[in-house]
Structure 1
Amino acid sequence: MTLYMLDTNAASEAIRGNPAFDARLQAMAPGQWCISAVTCSELRFGIARRPEAVRLHRIVQEFLRISPILPWDAQAATKHGDLRAHLKASGTPIGDFDEMIAAHALAVGAVVVTDNTRHFARVPGLVLDNWLRAPTGH
């Protein structure tokens, strides 16, 4: 079974209640999708910066309650160190948190679900899926 790891922009679509995105999640078997602890951190940071957004806090908290959150571990850290060095040496860094999410997905063999495929495509060996764009038919 393929494991899908939602990056932060994909998780945000679920939080916003995108019907097509939610349908994809609900159609999956338990344990078939997850978020990285890094994405959890980014979402918590986002709501911490907006304490007045009470409704948003509730929605994010509920999303995090139902989301399988994979812990950042030594295997992810090892992949991250290697990936970060590679991207920096090639002059194509993608940002610290995205590099961490990509490395985490590589470490667990997950497909990254993102709308930022051009950005994540810089990561060698990373498999991507964009649930927000309709297939072009090409």
Structure 2
Amino acid sequence: MTARYEPLRTRLTACAPGDVAISAISFAEIALGSEQGRPPLPEVLEAFLAAIPLVPFDESAARAYSKLPFRRARFDRLLAAHALSLDVVVITNNEGDFADVPGLRIENWTR
């Protein structure tokens, strides 16, 4: 992880097991990139999953998705709906991607 992401590493290290999870939507987006040759390497992604629980996208999330304003970034819309359905915070360094989602809580841990 580059120095740019050191604040993220610090925040993650301070979390207790179970405090942080990854949405199946985020995992799908990252896995797609990995399969296309972008970081992380597949073995790094698997190690991450061994340490961070994966949260399935369920009916509640699908219903929340159907109510969101449309934007081209469907992964972002799916992730926002998933977070809203679980009443959790989205951790992102792309805050603008989620700025128009009513009621969504976001935090940027890279600062």
Same fold (TM over 0.5): yes
Distance 2:27 2:67 in 1: 23
Aligned to 1:21: 8
**1:94, 1:120 within 8 Å by CA — same for their partners in 2?**
no
Aligned to 2:24: 37
Q: Which runs of 5+ in 2 are unaligned?
A: none
Q: Please, what TM-score do these two structures have when normalized by structure 2?
A: 0.87
Going from structure 1 to structure 2, the CA distance change for 1:24 and 1:45 (only over 3 Å counts) comes to same
Distance 1:131 1:107 in 2: 22
Q: Which runs of 5+ in 1 are unaligned?
A: 1-15, 134-138
Q: Please, what TM-score do these two structures have when normalized by structure 1?
A: 0.72
Which structure is higher in RCO with an 8 Å CA cutoff and minimum separation 6? 1
SS of equivalent residue, structure 2 residue 67? helix
CA RMSD of aligned residues (A): 1.9
Which structure has the larger Rg? 1
Distance 1:64 1:28 in 2: 16
Aligned to 1:123: 101
The alignment covers a number of residue pairs equal to 109
Aligned to 2:42: 57
Seq. identity, %: 37
**1:80, 1:99 within 8 Å by CA — same for their partners in 2?**
yes
Provide runs of 4+ in structure 1 moved above 6 Å: none
